[in-house]
Amino acid sequence: MILMWVAFAVLTLLAMAFVALPFLSKERVQGLTYNANSELIAIFHQRLGELANDLAEQRIDQVNHDESVVELKRRLLNELSPEKSLMSKGNNRIFALTGCAFLVAFTVIFYTATGSQQQLQNWQSAMDNLPAYGERAVMQQGEPLTQNELQAFALGLRTKLAQSGDDKVAWMLLGRVAMSLNEYDMAQQSFDKVLRLDPDNLPVLISYSQVLLLEGSDANMTRAAGMLSKVLKDDPTNLDAISLLALIAYERHDWLQAKAAFEVLLKSMDKEDSRYSMIAQRISEIEQNISAENEQQNSQLTPVATAQQGSNANASNNPAAPSAINVTIKLAPDLVDKLPAQGTLFVFAKAANGPPMPLAVVKLTDYRFPIEVQLSDSNAMVAGLTLSSVEQIILTARISKDASVMPATGELEGRSDVLERSQTQAYELLINELIP
């Protein structure tokens, strides 16, 4: 900024010098001999008199006389020295000062009309207020930033990054400010910069996922789901990631996955939370959608493993696929009378130490015990969160009364111990617990 004003002052001084110098330079005046001109004029008149005498005495005729007079006049004009007036009125300094003043006034008026002084003032203000904007935006101190202040904050951050190079904190802030300004391209570019510097930055992965969801294409939703899966591997209880996964499933009409994710959120909230009723209403809406669909549509998200009816029916006759587990489910005799009339059987695997979202799920509405199902990567609920992605798992079979994967009072459940996934190809699971 200082350099710009110095350059402006130097250019102004040069322009003023260009205007003033012609007025201030001294004029070279040659010395003139005025007596020489007087003598030439006297000789001219003398020659005129001689010619008049010659004409009167008829030594020359009239034609020669006239020609001689013309020649005398021509010669006189050629021989006279030019005279210059040495009397200059006024002062050249006044003209120089007037020209400089006009130049400065014209420059000021022209720059005011066409220049970018307001933008420069805004930029300078943004740089001066950058720390204060950061405190209000990040530390939540004072009033929230207005739209104009967000734009100024973004301008200051871009200037800081241009001056100091890559700074992942500044890039992250710029991405979030760009989101607030609905500048999604700028937000994606900023978050890309952060992830190049810090690929495992969980807050940025979540914010980037939000931007991708706002864009709304299938490719971006798939990419966002992958980012959120990475977050949940490192932070299984991250509610922001779970809520975004729920939104992805809801937008894709993957009702079972959306319901499971929303129920995880609901379970983590206090009933006094303002969002509790909204999420409960969303779950009710999803349940209505599930009820309206047929059995094939219900299995849109979590592929259903089919089972043949019979006292000892075997639903999986094919050899186990890689990373697949054949699970035989039995019901404890003392719980037969507790079996719901129209219950739904969920068989799922979860990470022993990992995300709360199931890694693989099978849902059955038509079953008889004992029954065998197969869990594999094809039963994954979320891209990236698959059975083969973890080593230690827990198998669960639950008979739900309300078609919800979340446990409720009066439902029947059976759980395995912690299993090594790579060493488990088959497992017999007993449903032996009544959930109080």
- Residue 395's pLDDT is 93
- Residue 302's pLDDT is 43
Residue 349 corresponds to which tokens in the numbers above?
């695997």
Indicate whether 352 and 423 sit together in one domain. yes
Indicate whether 48 and 187 sit together in one domain. no
- Rounded to the nearest 10 degrees, the angle between the axes of helix 62-79 and helix 34-56 is 180
Indicate whether 207 and 335 sit together in one domain. no
Q: Does residue 319 carry a pLDDT above 80?
A: no
Indicate whether 159 and 104 sit together in one domain. no
Indicate whether 273 and 243 sit together in one domain. yes
DSSP codes, 122-147 = HHHHHHHHHHHHHHHHHS--SSPP-H
Sign, CA dihedral 286-291-292-296, equals positive
Provide the domain count of the chain.
Answer: 4
- 3-state per-residue secondary structure call for 202-229: HHHHHHHHHHHHHHCCHHHHHHHHHHHH
Cα 65 to chain centroid, rounded: 101
Domain of residue 341, residue span: 325-434
DSSP codes, 343-393 = -EEEEEEEETTS-SS-SEEEEESS--SSEEEEE-GGG-SBTTB-GGG-SEE
Q: Rg of the chain over CA atoms, in angstroms?
A: 48
- Residue 327's pLDDT is 93
Higher pLDDT, residue 308 or 293: 293
Grade residue 16 by pLDDT with cuts at 50, 70 and 90: confident
- Residue 120's pLDDT is 54
Indicate whether 172 and 218 sit together in one domain. yes
Indicate whether 275 and 392 sit together in one domain. no
Q: Say whether 293 sits in a helix, a strand or coil.
A: coil
Indicate whether 350 and 384 sit together in one domain. yes
Do 261 and 239 contact (CB within 8 A), yes or no? no
- Residue 328's pLDDT is 94
pLDDT in tens, 97-118: 777 787 778 777 776 666 555 5
Residue-averaged pLDDT of the chain: 76
User: pTM above the 0.75 mark?
Assistant: no
- Residue 284's pLDDT is 83
Helix or strand run (H / E) with residue 314: none
Cis preceding-peptide flag for 370 (omega within 30 of 0): yes
Higher pLDDT, residue 430 or 315: 430
